[in-house]
Amino acid sequence: MHALLRRAAPALALIALITGVATAPAQAHETLKLDAPKPAIAPTPPMGWNSWNKFGCNVSEQLIRQQADAMAASGMKDAGYRYIVIDDCWQKSRDADGNIQADPERFPSGIKALADYVHAKGLKFGLYSDAGSLTCGGRPGSAGHEFQDARQYARWGVDYLKYDWCHTGPRNAEAAYTIMAKALRESGRDIVLSICEWGTDHPERWGPVVGHLWRTTGDIFDAWEGKKDWSHGMTDILDMQVERAPHAGPNGWNDPDMLEVGNGGMSTTEYESHFSLWAMLAAPLIAGNDLSKMDADTRRILTNADVIAVDQDPLGRQGQRLWKQGELEIWARPLKDGDHAVVLFNRGRAPADMRVDWNLLQWPADRKADVKDLWSKRVAKGVSKGYGGTVAPHGVIMLRLTPAP
Ligand code: GLA
């Protein structure tokens, strides 16, 4: 037997015993208890940046430092973005003791130094791993090394772990994610657990106990609509969120995948729609563009404080599609203190006159509301019955309604 395997064998056997991976995956996880409570570190959806959408496997310590610098200097940090997350391909191998090793050519200073750099900017630091033997990019996964990896992450100063689902064979998803959740909770550091099993095994049922956010679909790609291998365009992803809304709330969020705003595959209007709708979904706002090269529109969209306030609303209720007729939709989201956010969404190719009637929101007939358009910033006071306007093709009007005295 290879030395590494021999050393890992007792741990693997123990995990197989706990999870029953080899024999009885359905019951096995019942024996693994999450003794420590889930740390309450995601009361609102996490905000940050992740390397994958723009850079794929082309990650390095220079890139991560550059993005951290840009997050701090560009207004993104001021807008609330905090996590700098390195996605797949930072890892290269394991040493003779099974310790995970960063790619020494791309990360010559090591992960600890990089985490320190990010922390010194007042930001938080995240990494990616996988519940299987290999990551989706073919790097070493964490299967059989969960506790060892979690301790290493804690020593390095990791604040956020995105944990993927490639090369997992017959593993039971809830059991596999529970092991990593337990390992993180016993690591001595508060670490957000971002579950990335693509919604295949109903993560909305067990995710709220195990992690802080859970992917609901395959990957997003930077297009208005469509399907490509495992990936979906933005509106296709949106349509897959409708059923899952009731499961989200403070400290446990549905994750419709990262933002594509600024990556070039959609128009400015479409990116405004993408950002508005993700805010309605109470989605984690994880930017996926090059923060060091943002044009004015990208920055304006990603830092729109009014839209971010909807996403980050402390009530934590995910928005719902309340009305749909052909290519026109109205989405609404109750906010803390009685406000509502509303999106009038036009999927069509022609401008459309749209309007939300207060009765759609179940408001009393005599209710008046102050209305703020969160993109144009126009305000209308004491509006009765409803409000609307002309919605651009592929565009939104996003409103915040405050009941008027
Ligand atoms: C999967 C995930 C993506 C990304 C890649 C990395 O496809 O869903 O978000 O992390 O793996 O290889």
Predicted TM-score (pTM) of this structure: 0.92
Query: Any idea which of 29-38, 58-67, 117-126, 257-266 has the lowest mean pLDDT?
Result: 29-38
Give the fold, CATH level 3, of 320-403.
Immunoglobulin-like (2.60.40)
Check pocket membership of 313 for ligand 1, CB cut-off 6 A.
no
Q: Is 222 in the pocket of ligand 1 (CB under 6 A)?
A: no
- The DSSP-derived string for 183-242 is HHHTTTS--EEEE-STTTT-HHHHHHHH-SEEE-SSEE-SSSS-EETTEE-HHHHHHTTG
- Whether 260 lines ligand 1, by a CB cut-off of 6 Å, is no
d(CA 285, CA 1): 45
Which of 164, 168, 222, 232 has most ligand 1 atoms within 8 Å of its beta carbon, as the pocket-test mutant? Answer: 164
pLDDT tops 90 at residue 193? yes
> Which residue spans within 266-325 are E strands per DSSP?
285-287, 320-325
pLDDT at 124 exceeding the cut of 50: yes
Burial (0-12, 13-18, 19+ Cβ within 10 Å), 26: exposed
| Residue 225 pLDDT greater than 60, yes or no | yes
Between the CA of 219 and the centroid of ligand 1 the distance, in Å, is 7
Ligand 1 atom 1: the closest Cα is on which residue?
136
- Is residue 15 pLDDT above 50, yes or no? no
Find out whether the beta carbon of 137 lies less than 6 Å from any atom of ligand 1: yes
CA pair distance 323, 104, nearest whole angstrom = 53
Please report which confidence band the pLDDT of residue 222 belongs to, taking 50, 70 and 90 as the band edges: very high
339 vs 8, higher pLDDT: 339
Q: Where are the domains of the chain?
A: 3-311, 320-403
Residue 164 Cα, ligand 1 centroid: separation in angstroms? 7
- To test the ligand 1 pocket, which listed residue (49, 50, 51, 52) has its Cβ within 8 A of the most ligand atoms? 52
pLDDT at 32: 74
Ligand 1 atom closest to 135 (CA): 12
In this predicted model, what pLDDT tens digit does every residue of 364-400 receive, in sequence order? 989 999 999 999 999 999 999 999 999 999 999 999 9
> What does the block give as tokens for 380?
């209308």
Provide, rounded to the nearest whole percent, the portion of the chain with pLDDT above 90.
Answer: 90
Catalytic residue annotation? 164, 219
Cβ neighbours of residue 139 closer than 8 Å, sequence gap 6 or more: 88, 89, 90, 91, 92
Of 63 and 27, the structure prediction assigns the larger pLDDT to 63
Cα of 140 from ligand 1 centre, angstroms: 14
Residues 51-98 have pLDDT tens digits of 999 999 999 999 999 999 999 999 999 999 999 999 999 999 999 999
CA 261 / ligand 1 centre spacing (Å): 18
Cβ-proximal residues to 127 (8 Å cutoff; 6+ apart), any chain = 85, 86, 90, 111, 153, 156, 158, 160, 161, 162
Close Cβ partners of 93 (under 8 Å, ≥ 6 residues apart): 101, 140
Domain 3-311 has CATH 3.90.1150.10: no
**87 pocket-lining for ligand 1 (C-beta < 6 Å):** yes
- Average pLDDT in the chain: 93
**Ligand 1 pocket residue status of 339, Cβ below 6 Å:** no
**Contact 311 CB / ligand 1 (< 6 Å):** no
Residue 25 pLDDT exceeds 90: no
- Residue nearest ligand 1's atom 5 by CA: 136
**% of the chain residues with pLDDT over 70:** 92
For residue 217, the CA-to-ligand 1 centroid distance in Å is 11
Say what the pLDDT of residue 31 is. 56
